[in-house]
């Protein structure tokens, strides 16, 4: 028995070494294909674009800047960078101009004081963007699916409606992956989005266009959604902040595709993506059902938080090793906490992180939800993935290769209600209890958001399971915030995610502000040709 176990461990080590060599070779190969395609990024001219949404709102209501001036600055920025990045896919700029004009007239009337406006409409006149799967009345609502290219939203998603009620102005939609189920944002309607730090690299998905838009400063803030890392991975790859809220605190109303089970409803969350950490909390307050339940107005003292960290998933199969630059971040954070707050961060080793991917896939299964083939047909019949694969060879398919491959491998995964399924659900439940026991009501866990900085375009095809670093948080039903922490040796953004017990989003947001203050947060992109 011992000999068999030793042989298995030896084989696993050998396979991991082989996988590592294959990854390095293919990364080099993708670099040859895409690495020479870098283009220059236009510099940010208006310093207003560097400011937080909170600061912009204050300047508008106090009369220091008009909403129209602010809007025109962002419109000019969209025109500058979108031909290069392809992050904005639809807009309502003329309607937004009318909205901004109405805001300016209200401010000029002096009908309400800045203090009253700050309470009733805290984001008055502030332009924002959201991804093309969250409904904005009158705009395309495609989720990157070609058969929905002419579909228009009849009304705002509830989160968007709440932002409008708070005075914010939606100006554009941003790009996503097909049906929002992949971590590179490319589809057959709008094409592919490029990373503002290196245009040969990906922006993540499915809120990749939004992460890119925030890094490139094309709006004051953004809204994304996250069922397996779709807020946090784009925030990571683009060097901005992104928060996945606790389950069911922000309504998922107005999204497409909709969750197909109660479990998926709890895994999915709408949340903010922004350049400045101070914007996370006020935006979350506006879009959430019950800010009081989250105690978002409660002061958080960093000294009272218990910090835990884990640098890797422990060596999961077919998942990339965590880069040295990312591993170093945990040491830097631990040293800062001890020096600045006399707080000691405790290193932990949670073994179940090794099966994060398996747990996510199993827990996403549903009893009677539509297959991916049906979803790609917009729930009107079902596509033939084999025929679509043939068509894709000749570039005739209206679906992405990853969408077609997902259909082909869907049946090969864990079956709903099977013995393996029940095992992985139990493992998830046990892991959730283990993590909650460690965190308590005043703890956070620092964990990699992703094992490497942004890969080259299409490289995720050979690193498909790297999303497990974020996906596990969804099925554990916990809140998490991605925090940018500068650039790696390749000039690409890196950072960490901060995880707390459900309902303790305020701890994640407080740590995000602390890390921004200590390490600088968002770094404006500066691409050299």
Structure confidence by residue, pLDDT tens digits, 42-82? 999 899 999 999 999 999 999 999 999 999 999 999 999 99
Q: What percent of the chain stands above pLDDT 70?
A: 99
The count of residues in the chain is 529
Return the CATH superfamily for domain 40-305+477-493+502-519.
Amidase signature (AS) domain (3.90.1300.10)
Q: For 447, what's the count of Cα atoms within 13 Å in the CB-facing half-sphere?
A: 26
Tell me the C-alpha distance between 425 and 416, whole Å. Answer: 10
- CB burial class (10 A; 0-12, 13-18, 19+) of residue 467? buried
Contact residues for 268 (Cβ-Cβ < 8 A; gap 6+): 225, 226, 227, 252, 255, 259, 474
- CB burial class (10 A; 0-12, 13-18, 19+) of residue 389? middle
Please report, for residues 62, 229, 337, 460, the alpha-carbon distance to residue 37 in angstroms, rounded to integers and kept in the order given.
Answer: 45, 27, 41, 18
Q: Can you read off the two tokens belonging to residue 455?
A: 């890969």
Note whether 275 and 241 are within 8 A (CB).
yes
Q: Which whole number is the average pLDDT over 82-104?
A: 98
Q: Which residue has the tokens 């497409």?
A: 256
DSSP per residue, 11-56: HHHHHHHHHHHHHHHHHHHHHHHHGGG--PPPPP--GGGGS-HHHH
Q: Which residue has the tokens 């989160």?
A: 159
Q: From its phi and psi, is residue 346 left (phi > 0), alpha (psi between -120 and 50) or beta?
A: beta
Tell me the C-alpha distance between 137 and 146, whole Å. Answer: 19
Q: Name which of 360, 354, 344 is nearest 312 in CA terms.
A: 354
pLDDT bin (cut points 50, 70, 90) of residue 528 is: very low
- CB burial class (10 A; 0-12, 13-18, 19+) of residue 7? exposed
The domain limits of the chain are: 40-305+477-493+502-519, 366-412
The neighbouring-strand residues paired with 248 are none
Give me the catalytic one of 52, 73, 185, 206: 206
Structure confidence by residue, pLDDT tens digits, 454-488? 999 999 999 999 999 999 999 999 999 999 999 99
Tell me the C-alpha distance between 471 and 39, whole Å. Answer: 32
Residue 91 has pLDDT above 60, yes or no: yes
Tell me the C-alpha distance between 428 and 291, whole Å. Answer: 28
Note whether 257 and 176 are within 8 A (CB).
no
pLDDT bin (cut points 50, 70, 90) of residue 529 is: very low
Backbone angles phi, psi at 275, to 5 degrees: -80, -30
Give me the catalytic one of 59, 121, 131, 365: 131
What is the pLDDT of the chain when averaged over all its residues? 96
Structure confidence by residue, pLDDT tens digits, 155-194? 999 999 999 999 999 999 999 999 999 999 999 999 999 9
Q: From its phi and psi, is residue 338 left (phi > 0), alpha (psi between -120 and 50) or beta?
A: alpha
Tell me the C-alpha distance between 194 and 38, whole Å. Answer: 10
Give me the catalytic one of 142, 200, 225, 230: 230
Q: So what's the pLDDT on residue 361?
A: 96
Q: Kindly report the number of other CB atoms within 10 A of residue 46's CB atom.
A: 15
Structure confidence by residue, pLDDT tens digits, 372-428? 999 999 999 999 999 999 999 999 999 999 999 999 998 788 999 999 999 999 999
DSSP per residue, 336-349: HHHHHH--PPEE--
Please report, for residues 128, 152, 211, 219, 289, the alpha-carbon distance to residue 134 in angstroms, rounded to integers and kept in the order given.
Answer: 13, 11, 15, 16, 17
Structure confidence by residue, pLDDT tens digits, 289-332? 988 889 999 999 999 999 999 999 999 999 999 999 999 999 99
Structure confidence by residue, pLDDT tens digits, 222-274? 999 999 999 999 999 999 999 999 999 999 999 999 999 999 999 999 999 99
Tell me the C-alpha distance between 207 and 442, whole Å. Answer: 30
Q: So what's the pLDDT on residue 226?
A: 98
Tell me the C-alpha distance between 138 and 324, whole Å. Answer: 46
Q: So what's the pLDDT on residue 251?
A: 97
The β-bridge relationship of strands 346-347 and 306-309 is parallel
Please report, for residues 147, 207, 392, 450, 501, the alpha-carbon distance to residue 454 in angstroms, rounded to integers and kept in the order given.
Answer: 30, 14, 26, 9, 28
Q: Name which of 23, 109, 11, 18 is nearest 320 in CA terms.
A: 23
Using DSSP's 3-state secondary structure scheme, residue 414 falls into: coil
Q: So what's the pLDDT on residue 7?
A: 77
pLDDT bin (cut points 50, 70, 90) of residue 2 is: low
Contact residues for 324 (Cβ-Cβ < 8 A; gap 6+): none
Q: So what's the pLDDT on residue 8?
A: 74
pLDDT bin (cut points 50, 70, 90) of residue 6 is: confident
Q: Name which of 443, 459, 446, 444 is nearest 492 in CA terms.
A: 459
Note whether 353 and 432 are within 8 A (CB).
no
Question: pTM to 2 decimals?
Answer: 0.96
DSSP per residue, 208-242: HHHHHHHHTTSSSEEEEEESSSTTHHHHHHHT-EE
Catalytic annotation present for 230: yes
Q: What percent of the chain stands above pLDDT 90?
A: 91
């Amino acid at each position: 028995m011992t000999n068999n176990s030793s042989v298995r461990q030896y084989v696993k080590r050998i396979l991991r070494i082989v996988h590592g060599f294959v990854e390095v070779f293919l990364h080099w190969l993708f670099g040859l294909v895409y690495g020479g395609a870098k283009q220059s990024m236009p510099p940010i001219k208006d310093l207003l674009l560097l400011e937080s949404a909170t600061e912009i709102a204050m300047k508008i209501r106090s009369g220091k800047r008009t909403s129209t001036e602010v809007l025109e600055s962002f419109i000019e920025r969209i025109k500058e960078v979108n031909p290069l990045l392809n992050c904005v896919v639809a807009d309502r700029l003329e309607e937004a101009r009318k909205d901004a004009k109405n805001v300016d007239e209200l401010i000029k009337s002096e009908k309400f004081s800045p203090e009253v406006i700050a309470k009733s409409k805290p984001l008055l006149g502030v332009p924002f963007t959201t991804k093309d799967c969250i409904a904005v009345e009158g705009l395309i609502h495609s989720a990157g699916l070609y058969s929905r290219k002419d579909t228009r939203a009849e009304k705002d998603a509830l989160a968007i409606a709440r932002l409008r009620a708070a005075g914010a102005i939606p100006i554009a939609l941003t790009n996503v992956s097909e049906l929002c189920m992949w971590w590179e944002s490319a589809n057959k309607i709008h094409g592919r989005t490029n990373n503002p730090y290196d245009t040969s690299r990906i922006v993540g998905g499915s809120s990749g266009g939004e992460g890119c838009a925030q890094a490139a400063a094309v709006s004051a803030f953004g809204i994304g959604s996250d069922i397996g890392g779709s807020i946090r991975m784009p925030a990571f790859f683009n060097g901005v902040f992104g928060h996945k809220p606790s389950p069911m605190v922000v309504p998922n109303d107005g999204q497409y595709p909709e969750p197909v089970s109660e479990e998926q409803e709890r895994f999915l969350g709408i949340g903010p993506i922004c350049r400045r950490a101070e914007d996370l909390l006020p935006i979350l307050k506006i879009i959430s059902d019950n800010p009081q339940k989250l105690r978002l107005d409660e002061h958080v003292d960093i000294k009272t938080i218990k910090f835990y960290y884990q640098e890797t998933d422990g060596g999961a199969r077919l998942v990339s090793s965590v880069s040295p630059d990312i591993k170093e971040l945990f040491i830097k954070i631990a040293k800062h906490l001890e020096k600045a707050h006399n707080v000691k961060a405790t290193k932990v080793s949670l073994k179940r992180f090794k099966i994060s991917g398996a747990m996510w896939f199993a827990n996403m299964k549903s009893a009677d939800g539509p297959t991916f083939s049906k979803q790609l047909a917009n729930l009107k019949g079902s596509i033939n993935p084999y025929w679509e694969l043939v068509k894709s060879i000749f570039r005739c398919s209206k679906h992405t290769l990853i969408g077609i491959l997902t259909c082909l491998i869907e049946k090969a995964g864990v079956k709903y209600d099977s013995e393996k399924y029940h095992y992985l659900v139990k493992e998830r439940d046990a892991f959730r209890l283990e993590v909650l026991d460690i965190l308590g009501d005043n703890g956070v866990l620092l964990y990699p958001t992703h094992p490497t900085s942004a890969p080259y375009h299409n490289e995720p095809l050979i690193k498909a399971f790297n999303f497990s670093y974020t996906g596990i948080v969804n099925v554990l039903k916990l809140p998490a915030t991605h925090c940018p922490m500068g650039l790696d040796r390749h000039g690409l953004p890196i950072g960490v995610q901060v995880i707390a017990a459900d309902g303790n989003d305020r701890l994640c947001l407080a740590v995000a502000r602390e890390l921004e203050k200590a390490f600088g947060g968002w770094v404006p992109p500066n691409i050299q040709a």
